[in-house]
Amino acid sequence: MIPVSVVVMTRNEAANLPRCLPALERFAERFVVDSGSTDGTPAIAEAAGARVVPFRWDGRYPKKKQWCLDRLPFRQDWVLFVDADERLGGALVEEIAALMTAGPRHAGYFIDGHPVFLGRRLRFGARNRKLALFDRRKAHFPTVPDLDVATMWEVEGHYQPMIAGTVGRLRHSLDHADDKPVATWFDRHARYADWEAALRSDGRMKDLIARESRARRWLKTWFGVVPARPLLVFLYGYVWRLGFLDGGPGFQHALARAFYYWQIGVKIADARRRAKPPASTDD
């Protein structure tokens, strides 16, 4: 068994778990932390041999990921956070197994994600990257003052855990393949846009960005103020990253990402407009 504890956080993920959990069977522990699912998610997880842990958020910190680090009865020091709509291939599992056998050189590792959009695994275009594998003794999710962003609910926002140590990157990637309708993608990113717009509109995002590495800090600061962000996002994914080679789904994915960043910009402008005191009118 691979000496890593896997955490899968769920809420009504019956559509995704049957393809997620089988790839995790070689790991020493598999926790499914469930937030009151009503679609049979816990039963699917238990049938696959995972340990189901119920979670109910009390509206305060810690949120769900940090709660997992604080409360789950881990027997392993290393943790892998996997979303229910993520699929680990054999090469990635083997790489993690070899890493644990040899002894990790870093305290955490980024894993790239290949989007699967409109039924096609995109080989090109923009990818996401998340710090999903780490030594839990050296990690925590920062407390970001975002309880006012109601649409994010119980889960931490779009940011990485803080790691006390160096961070590496795995060679192999996972697939981000949501088996729910594509509307789920837009619903999820609308929530992300609410969160980022709220934090950028009043300066809270600066504190979060300040915790990043120098290169990522510069990039996020610059990208947050550059005009025409949606157009740049589209050109980056579709042209620079050769997304056009993925055909129609590649075009649609690049356009959807541009629409996401357009949402952020509009919501920031609206939040700042609403925060201004009303103009006085003289009789």
Task: For residue 67, tell me if it sits in a domain.
Answer: yes
Q: What is the DSSP string of 141-182?
A: ----S-TT-GGGTTS--S-PPEESS-EEE-SS-EEE---S-T
pLDDT digits (tens, 9 = 90+) for 84-132: 999 999 999 999 999 999 999 999 999 999 999 999 999 999 999 999 9
> What is the per-residue pLDDT across 165-224, written as a single tens digit (0 to 9) for each?
999 999 999 999 999 999 999 999 999 999 999 998 888 887 777 777 666 666 666 666
Q: How many CB atoms lie within 10 A of CB 210?
A: 9
Q: What is the mean pLDDT of residues 17-34?
A: 98
pLDDT exceeds cutoff 80 at 239: yes
CA proximity to 10, closest of 154, 176, 186: 154
Domain-embedded: residue 149: yes
Q: Give domain status of residue 68, yes or no.
A: yes
Instruction: State how many domains the chain has.
Output: 1
The pTM for the full model equals 0.92
Tell me which residue range forms the domain holding 191: 2-275
Q: What is the pLDDT of residue 216?
A: 63
pLDDT over threshold 60, residue 283: no
Q: What is the pLDDT, as a whole number, of residue 278?
A: 77
Q: Residue 240: inside a domain, yes or no?
A: yes
Give 174's strand partners.
113
Q: Is residue 282 part of a domain?
A: no
pLDDT score for 214:
67
CATH of the domain at 20: 3.90.550
> Is 283 within the bounds of a domain?
no
Q: If 0-12 CB within 10 Å is exposed, 13-18 middle and 19+ buried, where does residue 160 land? A: buried
